[in-house]
Amino acid sequence: MNLSRARATRSQKRTFQVIHPAGLVGDYLHWLKLELDHPSVALILANADHSVEEIIRSASRARRGAKVKSAEFDETWCIFDGLSELELIAARQLAHQEKVRLATNTLNIDQWLLLHFEDPAPSLSATELRAKVFGYLSADEPESVDFAGLSDLTSAALERAVDAAKALNPDTSMHELVLSLQASRHNFRPRR
């Protein structure tokens, strides 16, 4: 007779809490959540009036609060655009202390979106970058972006991002969040 306990499995994927700025980042994350069929992702709009430190600490408190209510998040992420080098260093240190993961873009989400189509272009201004990305996406403004065309290009973007991450200061680390979400999806085993 085997008295060992069967390994517990979840009836859901890993749970994520993602705090993000308003605008195109949120639109992309909503699309990605649907694309990955990942209902266990809580997308939370960051308060634009809060500092980076306040956002990270708030995310950590929310994670700890959820744990108390038996709704623990497996991963908590904060997304930031346009941090200076000193702000990024401080954010990384605080995030490490608070057990929060960061996804950052030196300018904005367009750096991650561009990787779906071509290698990084570090010398572009924010305006040039936006025009290039919107050209690929056939969009005139953020509200008209259709992310569906990115579905088949995500693996190429991940490869480019991993190669670019080998640089000392990559322009974007969004790929880390996308890889974590994908891994969660692939490791999901529903109860039988």
pLDDT tens-digit readout, 122-161: 788 889 999 999 999 988 888 888 998 899 999 999 999 9
Of the chain, the percentage scoring pLDDT greater than 90 comes to 59
List the domain boundaries for the chain. 16-185
Cα separation of 29 and 180, whole Å? 13
Give residue 4's pLDDT band: very low, low, confident or very high (50, 70, 90).
low
Contact 113, 150 (CB under 8 A): yes
Give residue 171's pLDDT band: very low, low, confident or very high (50, 70, 90).
confident
Is a pLDDT exceeding 60 seen at residue 83? yes
Backbone angles phi, psi at 133, to 5 degrees: -65, -45
| Token pair belonging to 19 | 């705090």
Distance from the Cα of residue 144 to its chain's centroid:
21
Backbone angles phi, psi at 131, to 5 degrees: -60, -40
Which residues lie across from 18 on neighbouring strands?
Answer: 43, 77
pLDDT at res. 3 = 57
Contact 158, 116 (CB under 8 A): no
112-133 confidence digits (pLDDT tens): 999 999 988 778 888 999 999 9
Give residue 54's pLDDT band: very low, low, confident or very high (50, 70, 90).
very high
Cα separation of 146 and 144, whole Å? 6
Q: What is the pTM of this model?
A: 0.84
Degrees (nearest 5) of the Cα angle 99, 101, 105? 150
pLDDT at res. 189 = 47
Residues 23-27 have a mean pLDDT of 93
Give residue 168's pLDDT band: very low, low, confident or very high (50, 70, 90).
low
